[in-house]
Structure 1
Amino acid sequence: MEIGLLIILFSVITYAMLAKRLSTTILTAPMVFLGMGYLMSQSGMIHIGDAHETVYLIAEISLVVLLFLDASQINLRRLKKQRSWPLRMLLIGIPLSILIGTGFAYLFFPHWSWAMLALIAAILAPTDAALGQAVVSNESVPINERQSLSVESGLNDGLALPVILFFASLVAMETGSQVSDISWLMFGFTQIFVGILVGVGIGWMSGRLFLFSESKETSSSIYEGIGVLALTGISYIMASLLGGNGFISAFVAGLAFGNIVKGHCRFIYQFTESEGQILIWSSFVIIGLGLLPTAIEHLSLPVVGYIIVSIFIVRPLAIYLSLLGTKSKTLTRLFMGFFGPRGLATALFALIISKDILGEYGHSIIIVAINAVWISTLIHGIAAAPMAEWYGTKIKKLKIKARESAKLRK
Structure 2
Amino acid sequence: MDPYIAVLTGVGLLILLVAWLPMLLREMPLSLPIVCVGIGFLVFRFLAPAGGEPPHPLRFPELTERLTELVVIVSLMGCGLKLDRPIGLRAWRVTWRLLAVTMPLCIIALAVMGWAMAGLGVAAAVLLAASLAPTDPVLAADVQVGPPQSGEEDEVRFGLTSEAGLNDGLAFPFTNLAIALALHGAAVGEWTWEWLGYDVAWKLGAGLAAGWGIGAVLGWLTFHLPNRAKLSKTGDGFLALGMTFLAYGLTEMVHGYGFIAVFVAAVAFRHAERNHRFHERLHDFAEQMERLLMMVVLVLFGGALAHGLLDALTWPAAVCGLLFLIVVRPLATWVGLLGTGRPLEEVMALGFFGIRGVGTLYYLAYALGEAEWAQAELVWAMAGFVVLVSVLVHGTTVTPALRRLDGRRGSASPAAREMAE
TM-score, structure 2 length as denominator?
0.78
User: Could you say if the C-alpha distance between residues 169 and 329 of structure 1 is closer, same or farther in structure 2, counting changes exceeding 3 Å?
Assistant: closer
Pick one of 40, 48, 65 that aligns with 2:43.
40
Amino acid at match of 2:129: A
1:283 aligns with 2:303: no
Q: Which SS does the other structure have where 2:290 is aligned?
A: helix
**Contact 1:195 1:245 (8 Å CA) reproduced:** yes
In proportion to residue count, which structure has more helix? 1
Counterparts of 1:262-281 in structure 2, within 5 Å, are 262-264=274-276, 265-281=279-295
Partner of 2:414: none
Pick one of 355, 369, 373 that aligns with 2:369.
355
User: CA-atom RMSD, angstroms?
Assistant: 3.5
Please list the CA deviations of residues 241-297 of structure 1 after superposition, one character each: whole Å capped at 9, or x if unmatched: 223233333233223223223223222222234333223222322333357734222
1:150 aligns with 2:161: no
> Larger deviation: 98-107 or 306-315?
98-107
Pick one of 304, 314, 323 that aligns with 2:337.
323
Partner of 1:404: none
Counterparts of 1:249-260 in structure 2, within 5 Å, are 249-260=261-272
TM superposition shift of 1:315: 1.0
Amino acid at match of 1:185: L
Within 2, Cα distance between the matches of 1:210 and 1:136? 26
Within 2, Cα distance between the matches of 1:382 and 1:121? 25
Within 2, Cα distance between the matches of 1:233 and 1:135? 25
User: Could you say if the C-alpha distance between residues 278 and 99 of structure 1 is closer, same or farther in structure 2, counting changes exceeding 3 Å?
Assistant: same
Partner of 2:127: 119
TM superposition shift of 1:25: 1.5
TM superposition shift of 1:378: 0.7
Q: Which SS does the other structure have where 1:77 is aligned?
A: coil
TM superposition shift of 1:32: 0.8
User: Could you say if the C-alpha distance between residues 75 and 237 of structure 1 is closer, same or farther in structure 2, counting changes exceeding 3 Å?
Assistant: same
Q: Which SS does the other structure have where 2:154 is aligned?
A: helix
TM superposition shift of 1:344: 2.4
Amino acid at match of 2:242: A
Q: Which SS does the other structure have where 1:360 is aligned?
A: coil
Amino acid at match of 1:167: F
Amino acid at match of 2:131: I
Counterparts of 1:74-93 in structure 2, within 5 Å, are 74-75=83-84, 77=86, 82=91, 84-93=93-102
Amino acid at match of 1:126: P
TM superposition shift of 1:319: 1.6
1:192 aligns with 2:173: no
Please list the CA deviations of residues 61-115 of structure 1 after superposition, one character each: whole Å capped at 9, or x if unmatched: 22222223222333452665648544433443323322333333333234421x5
TM superposition shift of 1:135: 5.6
User: Could you say if the C-alpha distance between residues 262 and 339 of structure 1 is closer, same or farther in structure 2, counting changes exceeding 3 Å?
Assistant: same
TM superposition shift of 1:317: 0.5
Pick one of 237, 244, 253 that aligns with 1:241.
253
Within 1, Cα distance between the matches of 2:72 and 2:157? 18
**Contact 1:318 1:337 (8 Å CA) reproduced:** yes
Partner of 1:175: 182
1:71 aligns with 2:80: yes
Within 1, Cα distance between the matches of 2:184 and 2:238? 37
Within 1, Cα distance between the matches of 2:227 and 2:191? 48
Gaps of at least 5 residues in structure 1 are 397-410
**Contact 1:63 1:345 (8 Å CA) reproduced:** yes
User: Could you say if the C-alpha distance between residues 168 and 11 of structure 1 is closer, same or farther in structure 2, counting changes exceeding 3 Å?
Assistant: closer
**Contact 1:351 1:366 (8 Å CA) reproduced:** no
Within 1, Cα distance between the matches of 2:194 and 2:99? 30
TM superposition shift of 1:31: 0.6
Within 2, Cα distance between the matches of 1:258 and 1:249? 14
User: Could you say if the C-alpha distance between residues 214 and 55 of structure 1 is closer, same or farther in structure 2, counting changes exceeding 3 Å?
Assistant: farther
Q: Which SS does the other structure have where 1:378 is aligned?
A: helix
- Number of positions where the alignment pairs a residue of Structure 1 with one of Structure 2: 390
User: Could you say if the C-alpha distance between residues 361 and 246 of structure 1 is closer, same or farther in structure 2, counting changes exceeding 3 Å?
Assistant: farther
User: Could you say if the C-alpha distance between residues 174 and 26 of structure 1 is closer, same or farther in structure 2, counting changes exceeding 3 Å?
Assistant: same
Partner of 1:382: 396
Amino acid at match of 1:23: R
